[in-house]
Amino acid sequence: MNKIIGPLLFLSVSALAQETATPSKGKGGVAPEQGQAAIGKNYVAILPGDSEEDIIRKAARVAPSPRQLRWQELELTAFFHFGINSFTDREWGTGKDDIHLFNPANLDAKQWVSVAAAAGIRQVILTCKHHDGFCLWPTKYTEHSVQYTPWKNGKGDVVKEVSEACHASKMGFGVYLSPWDRNCPFYGDSEKYNRYFEDQLTELLTHYGKVDEVWFDGANGEGPDGKKPVYDFAAWYKLIRRLQPGAIIAIMGPDVRWVGTESGQGRLTEWSVLPVDQQMQDRIASGSQRDMSFVPQGDLTDNDLGSRAKLAGAKGLIWYPAETDVSIRPGWFYHPAEDDKVKSPDALMDIYFSSVGRNSVLLLNIPPDKNGLIHENDISSLKGWKKKIDATFAVNLAKGANFPDTATTIDLSWKEARTFDVLLLQEKIRLGQRIEGFDLEYKDAEGWKKITEGTTVGYKRLLRFPAVTAGRVRLRILSSRLKPALAKFGLYKIVE
């Protein structure tokens, strides 16, 4: 069992400021001005003389940047995979697809956004260009775009319609621009292709108002010459920071990482604070994470990314939270054959618990059909899912309970027994992520009995268990980095 440094508190920002102002020196003798993370600092250096306790104290104070915090608080985001693949019934286009097939008769971006909003989704990302290179806006740099299709006689602009629908409804708007382009004739030429990519990225970041997220994947196939270009991610990040400084750069980017699967399943232990090596840390120190041009290396799909053992050899620490993506259908683009394979409300509820409920943001793909509309089956499932979420979390059964704090335990009691089967915990992540282990118990005539247990909490942790009826329960924080700072504690009953 790891040692807990300090008692359980519901900390305020001012309390953390006082805690930070008078730290105890570890074996390395590190004062706060020599490397301890300040409030809101999303990176920190590890110094040669730092002890294990110094490192853990620093890790406890690494916190999200304002853009990362805003993104984490969204909880639910959506992907709209739409393009030439929607008409060829493919997942990956060849780059030689007949773009004259693109002609969505009833495209209604307002419907897309309203469907997402009704499901509780707060930000959407459009596949402006997928691997096939077909562009959903009238770009100046290729004829492989909507401008050269029958749709609206070449006058249409899907990116414009989606961005305007988002801005009108106060929905966050994001863009996906595939680094791999199977249509571009000079894709294998790194210098030429990076310039081409930046030109297209500039169009997306300057013509459509506020962009809240830019989403890259790492797809990197061969070009016509059999070569693979070397992507200039550093230049792309710099461009985004200059043109849309508030935008999250996700997946192949410095702000958000991929959870590692497309199943909708997050880790049982998910840390947002990860180690980086010296070279990466030097680049942070010289320019700050606002402009950092790297992604931490190593196997980011490993089950253990941020435990004490992983932090022990680090040269620096950064806040690098996970996004969990999954499609509501088997495929990412719309296929008529999958109309009866849409994930059910129960399946989506399972995904919610294993993504948002495991310190991650859920990115749920909802692909419009070839008519340019979200299919009724998807809408029905989303409505059922939202109804389940609203009903389940409508009443916090812990509200109003008498709970005197005793060290690292919250003891709750009621005059009458209550029945519950869900535990919700949230940390004040603006102060950092600290909790390493906890359990929940109830008391009956025989004494205390365990209900459930977990490791990390982070922004949100949700645990389901067989229903318990009890008049007294207690939450015990078994291990923590500095003083645990809980933002919310809830007990709920799932409504079927």
Instruction: Kindly list the domain boundaries of the chain, sorted by start residue.
Output: 69-272+321-392, 405-492
Q: From the CB of residue 242, how many other CB atoms can be counted at a distance below 10 Å?
A: 11
Instruction: Specify the CATH number for 69-272+321-392; select among 3.20.20.70, 3.50.50.60, 1.10.10.60, 3.20.20.80.
Output: 3.20.20.80
Measured in whole angstroms, the distance separating CA 405 from the mean position of its chain's CA atoms is: 32
At CA 214, angle to CA 329 and CA 218, rounded to 5? 70
pTM of the model: 0.89
List the chain pLDDT tens, one digit each, 496 residues: 333 333 344 333 223 223 332 223 232 222 232 333 344 589 999 999 999 999 999 999 999 999 999 999 999 999 999 999 999 999 999 999 999 999 999 999 999 999 999 999 999 999 999 999 999 999 999 999 999 999 999 999 999 999 999 999 999 999 999 999 999 999 999 999 999 999 999 999 999 999 999 999 888 888 888 899 999 999 999 999 999 999 999 988 889 998 888 888 899 999 999 998 644 544 443 333 333 334 444 555 678 889 999 998 888 999 999 999 999 999 999 999 999 999 999 999 999 999 999 999 999 999 999 999 999 999 999 999 999 999 999 999 998 776 565 678 899 999 999 999 999 999 999 999 999 999 999 999 999 999 999 999 999 999 999 999 999 999 999 999 999 999 999 999 999 8
Per-residue pLDDT at 403 = 59
For 85, 441, 462, the CA distances from 469, given in Å and listed in that order, are 51, 12, 18
Sheet bearing 123-129, strands edge to edge: 248-251, 213-216, 172-177, 123-129, 76-80, 360-365, 322-327, 257-258
Q: In whole angstroms, give the CA distance from residue 22 to residue 144.
A: 61
CA-CA-CA-CA torsion for 401, 407, 409, 410, nearest 10 degrees?
10
Runs of H (alpha helix) within 274-330: 278-287, 308-311
Q: What is the CATH number of domain 405-492?
A: 2.60.120.260
Per-residue pLDDT at 287 = 37
For 197, 256, 341, 385, the CA distances from 116, given in Å and listed in that order, are 29, 22, 19, 12
Per-residue pLDDT at 301 = 62
Nearest to 491 by CA among 418, 414, 404: 418
For 215, 274, 323, the CA distances from 255, given in Å and listed in that order, are 10, 12, 10
